[in-house]
């Protein structure tokens, strides 16, 4: 994708386009699951702190990281094969900065019903199941916070969940705009701006949001700013 931005000749092979499609779908689906896993992790830390070490052992954490990526990359195979089965004729100019399903569907000259239906089912299911886990986790977290008599405990709990909720809001907001609408000239054009958010902006925000919540990162940043101030 970065190469296409920088090069004058913005072309990609058919195989390269399918591979790009596959990787993007797989990573997005994996991100759905990872956000749900992170919500569950916060639920365990806040609602069951005494059981956290035993319930969230190293083995469990490894499985919780591996399963989302296995799920994403396996499901992406099915979606990419459906794109591969489409027939393309006429113009081959993709109205996007990478190979995404909606603009490819617009280019297809064969019947796209099964591909569109599959896209809606996969996107809808992934959104609903992960959002359900996230909302359920935060419902229990909110109840636990409201029952807490410690002002410091409440502040710490809100601080712990704030960064995750920010990423969840941005991520799901952009995805709903991108994938749960029928591909039209207008939706594809708007989808390009939305795609910038979940492929670039969210990734940058992730490092900023989660990084600045880490005490070691905060201390290192303060030291770096302090050295620059002294240097001036």
Statement: 11-231 belongs to CATH 1.20.1070.10: yes
In the chain (232 residues long), the average pLDDT of successive 10-residue segments reads 56 86 89 89 87 87 92 92 85 78 83 86 86 92 83 74 80 68 59 68 67 68 67 54
pLDDT of residue 16: 87
Do 93 and 99 touch, CB atoms closer than 8 A?
no
User: What are the extents of the domains in the chain?
Assistant: 11-231
pLDDT of residue 4: 54
Please enumerate, as own/partner, the contacts of 18-23 that have beta carbons within 8 Å and a separation of 24 or more: 18/80, 18/83, 18/84, 18/99, 20/98, 20/99, 21/79, 21/80, 21/83, 21/99, 21/100, 21/101, 21/104, 22/76, 22/77, 22/79, 22/80, 23/76
């Amino acid at each position: 994708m970065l190469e296409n931005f920088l090069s004058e000749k913005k072309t990609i092979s058919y195989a390269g386009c399918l591979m790009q499609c596959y990787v993007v779908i797989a990573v997005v689906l994996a991100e759905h699951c990872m956000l749900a896993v992170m919500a569950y992790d916060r639920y365990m830390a806040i609602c069951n702190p005494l059981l956290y070490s035993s319930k969230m052992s190293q083995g469990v954490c490894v499985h919780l990281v591996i399963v989302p990526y296995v799920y994403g990359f396996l499901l992406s195979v099915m979606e990419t094969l459906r794109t591969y089965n489409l027939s393309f004729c006429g113009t081959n100019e993709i109205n996007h900065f990478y190979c995404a399903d909606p603009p490819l569907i617009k280019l297809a000259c064969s019947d796209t019903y099964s591909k569109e239906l599959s896209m809606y089912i996969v996107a809808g299911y992934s959104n609903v199941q992960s959002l359900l886990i996230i909302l359920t986790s935060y419902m229990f977290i909110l109840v636990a916070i409201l029952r807490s008599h410690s002002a410091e405990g409440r502040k710490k709990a809100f601080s712990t969940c704030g960064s995750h909720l920010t990423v969840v809001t941005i991520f799901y907001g952009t995805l709903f705009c991108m994938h749960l609408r029928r591909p039209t000239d207008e939706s594809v054009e708007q989808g390009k701006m939305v795609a910038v958010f979940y492929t670039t902006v969210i990734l940058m925000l992730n490092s900023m949001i989660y990084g600045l919540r880490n005490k070691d990162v905060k201390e290192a940043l303060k030291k770096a700013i302090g050295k620059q101030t002294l240097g001036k």
